[in-house]
Amino acid sequence: MKYQTYLIDLDGTMYRGKAKIPEARVFVDNLNQKEIDYYFLTNNTTKTPQQVADNLTNNHQITAKADQVVTPSLATAAYIKDMFGEDISNHSAYVIGEYGLKSAIFGTGIKLNEYDPDVVIVGLDYDVTYHKFELATLAIKRGALFIGTNADTNLPNERGLVPGAGSVISLVETSTQQRAHYIGKPEPEMIDFAVEAKKFDKSSALMVGDNYNTDIKCGISAGVDTLLVYTGVSTHDDIKKVSVKPTHEVESLDKWDV
């Protein structure tokens, strides 16, 4: 079948860290040539959609606009807007995270409140401190809703695999004896948010990614067909072991007939 909407992962799929994946650029050029809609679904909450699009365009020559970028920051903002509705400016949040997350959350009109917020949102924060963990812990124990942006335990940097959002969130899960409500892949929330915000049909959409445990599981749980590309995390051996296979598999994205 020919898919009308592509949902595309970034790291391992469009590039590898700072290294280019030339076949990815060919694939996106093909989508553009056939005027097929595509969106980038990343678990990165530290950057704004504009920063993510600029990185793709300037460093990887992959055509991307800010409104094609979907992140847990945006999906979380939509989630709290749904929850509080028109009345959101009378509610408050405490956020552990970088500017990408904070700008999305406080862009909804919700107020910042360190002591008695309605909701605590925890994501990756390179400046996290004990004080921030204490505020989050006390607020959740007082009854605030606890949202975790994404469960990724690690992310790669030039020094190795450093703590990811999932590790930061696990401290707060331990200190509150509560599990966070997660938004990022592999949860279906980001795809459901994209369907709602971008108005496309799930049944003709395809989730494309290199990581079975995040990208492909996200597609499966949202009820969207999936394409695993072997340019990143998951290997053929990994996929032999899983019971629910990706809908499609491909060695590199230039081999995929859009």
CA distance 130 to 132: 5
From candidates 100, 164, 184, 188, binder to its own copies by CB under 8 A: 164
CA distance 62 to 59: 8
CA distance 173 to 106: 23
Q: Which of residues 116-155 bind its own copies (CB under 8 A)?
A: 125-130, 133-134, 137-138, 141-142, 153-154
Whose Cβ is closer to its own copies: residue 44's or residue 231's?
A: 44
CA distance 163 to 176: 20
Residue 192 annotated in active site: no
CB of 123 to its own copies, least distance (A): 12
Whose Cβ is closer to its own copies: residue 96's or residue 110's?
A: 96
CB of 151 to its own copies, least distance (A): 9
Each as own residue / partner, the long-range contacts of residues 104-107 (CB below 8 Å, 24 or more positions apart, any chain) are: 104/48, 104/71, 104/73, 104/74, 104/76, 104/77, 105/73, 105/76, 105/77, 105/80, 107/77
Q: Closest Cα partner for 224 from 39, 14, 34, 15?
A: 39
- Out of 11, 125, 152, 215, the active site residue is 11
87 labeled part of a ligand binding site = no
- Out of 9, 118, 125, 192, the active site residue is 9
Q: How many Cβ atoms are within 10 Å of 157's Cβ, its own excluded? A: 9
CB of 136 to its own copies, least distance (A): 9
Do residues 52 and 64 touch, judged by C-beta distance below 8 A? yes
225 labeled part of a ligand binding site = no
From candidates 123, 148, 166, 184, binder to its own copies by CB under 8 A: 166
Q: Of 4-12, 80-88, 161-169, 235-243, which segment contacts its own copies by CB under 8 A?
A: 161-169
Q: Reduced to 3 states, what is the DSSP secondary structure of residue 2?
A: coil
Residue 127 annotated in active site: no
Positions annotated as catalytic residues are: 9, 11
By CB under 8 A, name the binding residues for its own copies: 125-130, 133-134, 137-138, 141-142, 153-154, 159-164, 166-168, 170-175, 177
Show binding-site residues for substrate.
185
